[in-house]
Amino acid sequence: MLIKRREQNLSADYLYKKDTKLINFDDFINKELVLFSKTSTQHAISSIMDGLKPGLCKIMFICFRKNLIRNIKVAENPAYHPGEQSLINAIVDPAQNFVSLNNINFFVPAGQFDYIFTWYSLALSLFNNDELLLTYLSEDAELNLCYKNFTGENRFLDNDCSNNVISVVYVKLDKIFINKTDLPFDTWTPYYKETVLETKFHLKRNDITPTILDYK
């Protein structure tokens, strides 16, 4: 309903008005619940430019504006509205650096995270000050981890060690065999064969060259 109104250049039709006394299920779903789904989707999808979600973008902006080279309570500065617990998770999760979490942690995992004191680690090298002057390119196959359940969608991108990604790129350029001994965390061999190897080996279109000739 909201998409159809936008296509017709109409404003959003909200459910509750001054004279509203009763509502039916169709109006509740099409006018009220759809607003939650829209907002939930906007906060759950990572940006194609940098792989960051809106909440993390605000936190990163504060880190650069305050020049966080020492620990500071980041939660006091960003204009973050969804809730305190969401803000804590948005700061704590990018700081975790133990196995199976982040390939590169943006913040330093220091102190007690109940007080969310932290500062940036490699973020200053990854996001340069002159990026606004550059021409952005749409890159794929970048390091990224995005797992989120939101309305109508369940998305997961495999996280991997940055050194492994670099080594695979070298192998790809040298056109030699790839010897992969470890699978991503929480991934079983049959599932990996079905969703990764088979899709690159048996292609649905004949005009596309397969990226994998054989595997065993």
Q: What CATH number has the domain bearing residue 156?
A: 3.90.199.10
Rounded CA-CA distance 89/113 in Å is 10
**Pair 58, 79: CB distance under 8 Å:** yes
For residues 190 and 207, membership in a common domain is answered with: yes
Helix or strand run (H / E) with residue 156: strand 153-156
What is the span of the domain harbouring residue 72? 51-128+142-174
Asked whether residue 59 falls in the same domain as residue 162, the answer is yes
Handedness of CA 37, 43, 46, 47 (dihedral sign): positive
Name the maximum alpha-carbon separation found in the chain.
Answer: 71
**pLDDT of 196:** 73
List the structure tokens of 64.
């650069």
Q: Rounded to an integer, what is the distance from CA 73 to the centroid of its chain?
A: 24
Q: What is the pLDDT of residues 29-50, one digit of tens each?
A: 877 787 778 877 877 777 777 7
181 pLDDT exceeds 70?
no
| Residue 104 falls inside a structural domain | yes
Residues 91 and 205: their CA atoms lie apart, in Å, by 43
Among residues 156, 152, 128, the alpha carbon closest in space to that of 144 is found at: 156
pLDDT given at position 75 = 46
Mean pLDDT of 6-27: 70
6 and 37 inside one domain: yes
What is the per-residue pLDDT across 66-102, written as a single tens digit (0 to 9) for each?
666 555 554 444 444 455 566 666 677 777 776 666 6
Residues assigned a catalytic role: 115
Regarding whether 93 and 25 lie in a shared domain, the answer is: no
| pTM more than 0.85 | no
Residues 216 and 153 grouped into a single domain: no
Three-state DSSP class for residue 118: strand
Q: What is the pLDDT of residue 94?
A: 72
Whole-number mean pLDDT of the chain?
A: 65
pLDDT value, residue 60: 73
